[in-house]
Every structure is written in structure tokens, then in C-alpha cells.
Amino acid sequence: MKSGSVNIDMLDEFVYLAETLSFKRTADHFYLSKSVVSRHMSALEEQLGVRLFERDNRGTRLTDAGRAFYPQAKRILNDWAMALDAVCDA
């Protein structure tokens, strides 16, 4: 893993992409272009030092590393949402 920051938006995009396996649907959902989502996922893969997705003419699939990372990323997003709720309720 390389030093640097992974932001919560990239994790959110990763989780959505992992669930839909569609760069177009992910881009549309976050009001981004497909190329921006692709760059974000490439940056995330670079930060982690692993490939999260296999991309080819047959479509997009999670790699073993992507399948391992998905539940952890989803938990981080859930924890983040709970933290925001706690602050807003204080």
C-alpha cells in the first residue's frame, strides 16, 4: 500500500461500482463522467497496490482483492454515516 489519502467519495464510488459492476451506472449515480470514475478507481487501486476490478470487453468484474475489500469499504461507509448522524444529533 502506498502512502497518500483515499477519500470517502472514492470508497462510496467503489462500493456502488462493486454492487452494479457498471461504470456508466456509477457515473450517472454520482453525476460524474465514466472517465472520472475510472480515474478514481485507478487511483484507489494504485493507493492499495492491488487491482480491484478486471475490466475487459466482457465487462467489469471484482478481483479476489476487490471481493475482500468490498465488505470493509462498506463497513467504513456505514461507520462514517453513523459518525455524521451522531454529530448532527449532538
For the stretch 70-87, pLDDT in tens is 999 999 999 999 999 899
- 69: Cβ–Cβ under 8 A, 6 or more apart, which residues? 14, 48, 50, 52
User: The domain 8-89: what is its CATH number?
Assistant: 1.10.10.10
Give the domain ranges of the chain.
Answer: 8-89
The DSSP 8-state label assigned to residue 54 in this structure reads E
User: For residue range 9-34, what is the model confidence (pLDDT) as tens digits?
Assistant: 999 999 999 999 999 999 999 999 99
pTM for this predicted structure? 0.91
